[in-house]
Amino acid sequence: MNARNLLTSRVVITGMGAITPLGHSVQETWEAMLAGVSGVDYITLFDHRDLKVHIAAEVKGFDPAQYFGAKEARRMDRVTQLGLVAAQQALQDSGLRITEDNTYDIGVIIGSGIGGITTLLEEHKVMLTRGPGRISPFTVPMMLPDTATGQIAIQFGIRGPNLCIVTACASGANAVGEAFEMVRTRRVKVALTGGCESPINPFSMSAFHNMGALSEQEGDPKTACRPFDKSRSGFVTGEGAAMLVIESLDHALARGARIYAEIVGYGCTDDAFHITAPDVRGPAMAMQRALQQAEVHPAEVDYINAHGTGTVLNDANETRAIKAVFGEAAYDINISSTKSMTAHSFGAAGALEVIACVKAINDGAVPPTINYQTPDPECDLNYTPNVSVRRAVRVALTNSFGFGGHNASLVLRAFEGQ
């Protein structure tokens, strides 16, 4: 073992939790992904008749009062509620006990691109209609992007580093990546990490529509999100939360934890090009750096969970970036966009897609890109169209790219012991 390895730890995933438009658990979500189920439908969270966009991927059947009680639920924005549910699942799945002896050795690093924007909008309406004196005193803590991280720390008694990562659509992936670095460099022994988002409200939906980012597909809502298809016209807004417990290998082994997979590489760059338009160099460098840190040759990658939002520019740019990194080997890799089913949950997306990679490694199956009908000459790779495939997945890579030029790539590997 060289001196560098003495200063760093291997990092493994020991717990996962998720609440998504496809299900209220990791397993429900994963089974729906493999079956090619779409979580997109007409909006039920508010009256959408006056809007130009009428569809989204909601977490259906979620009653926060069942988890927190009616009084406490009213004091949390939906984004925090979803984050807490996924965090509880991940901690329970990991079997980790939080005590006075280890509470400062555990970190909480979570991404949220928008935070409690629904609370902000509702209380702004209260101010306009009923006056500033009627604004709820809970407004500020409910709307801040870092409220979920603070609430999780309070709920579970975690006193280590507590950070909220805000990098738009890359927030969840960056959160997992930064948590990975914290554990790898022994700043903490364990991290609860992931992402949460709940942006389905009239303001957000209209804003994304007016900038031309949302899908204009007509007809069946479930066919609206069409990553890499020639007829793609934009993304569909989603919501949800995905959380992971990650820890140093020695800590996991010492407590007899079940190990799902190993995180081996993280790459993080910025395009420095345009606030919304992508550039091929930044994503390519993020992937290259993740592979270099992982000491993984491009030909060893079996599966790529693509950012794959369904926008015309993004999908073509990501395809070019993958080909720039992988060369001819790009055509041998199964690629898929699970956003075709979950839609785009912004800050939660990257973390959920890490979980999809872990499940692909564990189950030997690659989820599909649904709604893929017409090939695009600019997108000519194997996007695992419409139907999941069985194949051994030893190494997986996931990409997340965000407005502002943020790029994050993570490499995961099947755990093969010491």
The answer on pLDDT for 243 being more than 60 is: yes
- Whether residues 247 and 121 fall in one domain: yes
Its domain, for residue 154, covers: 13-254
Q: Which residues contact 402 (CB under 8 A, 6 or more apart)?
A: 113, 167, 168, 169, 170, 171
Q: What does the pLDDT look like over 41-79, one tens digit per residue?
A: 999 999 999 999 999 999 999 999 999 999 999 999 999
Whether residue 270 sits in one domain with residue 205: no
Has residue 8 been placed in a domain? no
What is the maximal distance between C-alpha atoms in the chain?
Answer: 67
pLDDT in tens, 317-354: 999 999 999 999 999 999 999 999 999 999 999 999 99
The residue from 254, 276, 308 where one domain ends is 254
* Spatial CA neighbour of 116 closest among 19, 239, 26: 239
Asked if residue 3 belongs to a domain, the reply is no
Candidates 203, 166, 213; CA nearest to 343 is 213
- Last residue in a domain, options 191, 220, 254: 254
Number of domains in the chain: 2
Active site residues: 169, 307, 344
- CA trace torsion 297, 283, 388, 222 (10° rounding): 180
Q: Which helix (H) or strand (E) holds 264?
A: strand 261-270
Q: Is the pLDDT of residue 217 over 70?
A: yes
Judge whether residue 6 has pLDDT over 80: no
- What pLDDT, on the 0 to 100 scale, is given for residue 3? 44
- According to the model, what pLDDT value does residue 59 have? 98
With a CB cutoff of 8 Å and minimum separation 6, the contacts of 81 are 62, 64, 67, 68, 73
Confidence of residue 279 (pLDDT cuts 50, 70, 90): confident
Q: What percent of the chain has pLDDT over 90?
A: 94
Q: Return the DSSP state at 240.
A: E
Q: What is the mean pLDDT of the chain?
A: 95
CATH number where 388 lies: 3.40.47.10
Dihedral sign (CA 273, 279, 280, 283): positive
